[in-house]
Amino acid sequence: MISTLALHWHRLGGLMPGELDEGELAWLVSPHRHLSLLARRRAVLIVNRVRLFAFLFAVLTPLWSIVDFVVFPFQLWSELALMRFAACVAFACLVVCYRSNGDLFNAYRAIALLFAIPTVFYVASHTLLTFYQLSGISAAIGAGYAFLPFVLLGGLAIFPLTLIETFVVASPILICQAVSGYLRWAAMDWPSFAGAFWLLLLIAGVAGLAGICQLAFMIALVRQAIRDPLTGAFSRNSGMELLDLHFTNAARAHAPFSVAFLDLDRFKNINDEFGHEEGDRALTAMTSQLGHHMRHGDSLVRWGGEEFMLLMPGTSLMQAQVAIERLRAAGFGTRPEGGPITASVGIAERKSDRAREWKELVEIADRRMYRAKENGRDRVICEDQPTALSA
């Protein structure tokens, strides 16, 4: 049963744009295992799209007042115009004041605000319209106000959301619509209401699919952009972004954050004696070996040629030392001549080394790695040499 489901899931994956890896397919369902860099870029994109959507509504909402003015009695028009003005100001505030801080919850709040403004407008305008007996063209324009939930659900298509996120955002709108139908608030008979509700469900489904396709594209693009093509480790640029992210989070939470600078020993000899291709193979084997043994949540960055950086959020200096010794015990792979590949490692930790920014942390780890080289290679150094006291 499970294997059949997995097979179908895999086939569905074949339809997805960007050829997602098998492990990434679950990322379309829920965001909880997304890489922090993907989460950060998605959060920025979502907030930008919220602002774009809000801008469009800020322009269109007052413009529609012209149509209202032509078809509605003055009293109704003026009350609706006041509501439109309030909605326009709220949308404009969202465009001007809301900025992404790279946090996903900040992005969710932006979507909630974007949807809250038309929802309040919808409830208020709908209630107001029930006090008026409209006929002819004014009744037709009045009925148009009931289409707002359709517009909102259709608008979901512009966000790269997971299945669960789409469900969470769409559910309140669908539930409200169902309740309003049950209580007969909608000015239409049951069959028409059921037809309209079915259409709303379809729009939610199509918008959800569009959102998932966008997310699949985004995952593939982000993966290509953040990985080093040879080893699959994070590239230096994305490594710097990760360092910044982890350092900021750790500082905010007063949590430890360790980095280990690893430089492979006598790597030049492999290239010189066995050729560049053997060197490449050793680098790839070493990365995959590390990938198997490092902790979930840690990140391996290829900092330069045969230099790597292991980022360990929430890890103290002592814990980092234990982790590195475990990796060394598992080994970094085998040299072409048969000996083990070894590395010189320098470790630094945000709190115990009193680093004020991530660059300082990297400098300390780098300095210790050089001392490990000077002291004979194939070793780990986690502290600075005590400075000699001058007489």
Ligand X SMILES: Nc1nc2c(ncn2[C@@H]2O[C@H](COP(=O)(O)OP(=O)(O)OP(=O)(O)O)[C@@H](O)[C@H]2O)c(=O)[nH]1
Interface residue list for ligand X (CB under 6 A):
230, 263-268, 271, 276, 279-280, 283, 305-306, 373, 377
3-state secondary structure the chain: CHHHHHHHHHHHHHHCCCCCCHHHHHHHCCCCCCCHHHHHHHHHHHHHHHHHHHHHHHHHHHHCHHHHHHHCCHHHHHHHHHHHHHHHHHHHHHHHHCCCCCCHHHHHHHHHHHHHHHHHHHHHHHHHHCCCCCCHHHHHHHHHHHHHHHHHHHHHHHCCCCHHHHHHHHHHHHHHHHHHHHCCCCCCCHHHHHHHHHHHHHHHHHHHHHHHHHHHHHHHHHHHHHECCCCCCECHHHHHHHHHHHHHHHHHHCCCEEEEEEEECCHHHHHHHHCHHHHHHHHHHHHHHHHHHCCECEEEEEEECCEEEEEEECCCHHHHHHHHHHHHHHCCCECCCCCECCEEEEEEECCCCCCCCHHHHHHHHHHHHHHHHHCCCCCEECCCCCCCCCC
Mention every residue, 6+ apart, whose C-beta is less than 8 A from residue 135: none
Q: Which two tokens stand for residue 229?
A: 């093509």
Question: Taking the CA of residue 241 as centre, how many other CA atoms within 13 Å lie in the half-sphere pointing to its CB?
Answer: 17
C-alpha angle with apex 95: 222 to 129, nearest 5 degrees?
A: 120
Annotated catalytic residue 383: no
Minimum distance of ligand X from residue 342's CB (angstroms): 9
Question: Given 306, 325, 349, 360, which residue is catalytic?
Answer: 306
Minimum distance of ligand X from residue 148's CB (angstroms): 56
Minimum distance of ligand X from residue 45's CB (angstroms): 32
How far lies 145's CA from each of 50, 74, 341, in Å? Answer: 22, 17, 70
Q: Give the residue numbers marked as catalytic.
A: 306
